[in-house]
Each structure stands twice: as structure tokens, then as C-alpha cells.
Chains A and B, each alone.
Chain A
């Protein structure tokens, strides 16, 4: 089975802190994604990557950056956390190509105080 592992289930940070959310997948998938989930808004794509060192903005990239130095690891960075970034963050991965299934990690619930 595909495993997508997010390093923290819960995080509490202060406004202005730099925050790193880590994600690792064990199936050699090309594509990796970061979503945030908020009640009533569903899943919104922040950034995605289709190869090492490649990244593309999603629908809501403002206030975030990403890093993909190795194929299995995709990091989401909040340069200066703000209270409106309190949310559930979900990492996902899939094979390259069309019609491939997307697999999610368990999520990181981030609270910014």
C-alpha cells in the first residue's frame, strides 16, 4: 500500500514564526501536492510538484513556499505564519500521467496563535 507520511499531526505556532510541514511518500511517485482544508471550502490546492526541484503554484499559494529536493519529500513552508493560516494541511502524491489515483497523508492540524 502507498504510504504518505506527514511529520506532525498537530502543531501550534505563534504569529510570525517560520513553519515547516514535512511530507514523505514511499512509492516513488512523481507528483506531490499540498492542500489546505477549511470547513465549507473543501480542499484547496496550495502548491504541487511534478518532479524533483520543480514546483507549480496552485490556487492559493500566497504566504506559502515549497521545497522538493528529493523525490520522496515535499515540504511546505510558511515564511511568517499568520492566524488566517490556521487550518488542516493535507499532503498527497500520485504517479505521473493521467488517470492515476491520488493518495493522502493523515493531515497536520496547524494552529497559529
Chain B
């Protein structure tokens, strides 16, 4: 079946640094979504992308839907301690079944004050 490869698996950064993470797939996706999960909570949607090439921002977060429709990246600028959490990418495939999403393995972000 379709799979997403998300990298890096974890990041340890200093407050104020920029962060970049990405997801790639061997197959095409119609939609890319980025979620953040804080400890003890369910994932919360950050950004949704619907068109190849689309670049969307949400505050200090910026995400892009790759031109090939097989990848997406998420950037966080000027990180702060509350950015800590696990970030997941998710994609809705072309031959989608019942609206289900495929998820990446997650990127665990730690921010040192």
C-alpha cells in the first residue's frame, strides 16, 4: 500500500532556530496535511494543502505541497519552547478509500530554551 517517509525522526534544537522537516512518497497524493501532537493529546491540524506547488503559512509555520505531488515540507521559523511535540504529515491518496489518510512516522521536536 501507499507509504509516507517522514524525516528526520527527531530534532533537538535551540530556541530561536529554524526547523525543517519533510515527507516523501513513492506515489501521488491529492492532499497533504500537517499535524502537531503535544504530550497526552491527540494530533491537531496545523496546515492543509490541496494543490501541487501550494505554499501556505500559519503564523511561524510554512508548508508546501511538492510539484511532483509526492512530497511536502514543513518549516518552523524562530522556534520557541511551546513548539515541542511530535509533528506528523498525512496524505490522502489518489485512489482514496473512504477518506482515509496515510500518516508519516512523525518528527519529535525538542526545543532547548
Chain A contact residues, CB within 8 Å of chain B: 4, 9, 30-31, 33, 35, 40-45, 48-50, 56, 58-59, 90, 92, 94-107
Q: Given contacts A50-B99, A58-B100, is CB(A4)–CB(B33) below 8 Å?
A: no
Among candidates A31, A59, A90, residue contacting B99 with C-beta atoms closer than 8 Å: A31
Most central of B6, B45, B50, B100 by chain A CB within 10 Å: B100
Please tell me if the beta carbons of B1 and A59 are within 8 angstroms of each other in the complex. yes
B9 & A102 in contact (Cβ 8 Å cutoff): no
Does B105 belong to the interface (CB within 8 Å)?
yes
Question: Does residue B106 face the partner (Cβ distance < 8 Å to A)?
Answer: yes
A45-B100 contact given A40-B105, A98-B30, A101-B48, CB 8 Å threshold: yes
A105 lies within 8 A of B99 (CB):
no
In the complex, the answer to whether B98 meets A99 with C-beta atoms within 8 Å is: no
Indicate if the CB atoms of B45 and A98 lie closer than 8 Å: no
Count of B interface residues, CB-CB < 8 Å:
28
Please give me the residue from chain A that is nearest to B94 by CB atom: A98
Q: Which residues of B contact A41 (CB under 8 A)?
A: 105
Give complex CA distance A42, B101 in Å: 12
Max count, chain B CB within 10 A of own CB: residue among A48, A96, A97: A48
A99 and B92 contact, CB distance less than 8 A: yes
What are some 12 contacts across the A-B interface (CB < 8 A)? Answer: A31-B100, A42-B6, A42-B88, A42-B103, A43-B90, A48-B98, A48-B99, A48-B100, A50-B98, A97-B99, A98-B99, A101-B33
Task: For the complex formed, measure the closest distance between the CB of A68 and the CB atoms of chain B, giving whole angstroms.
Answer: 12
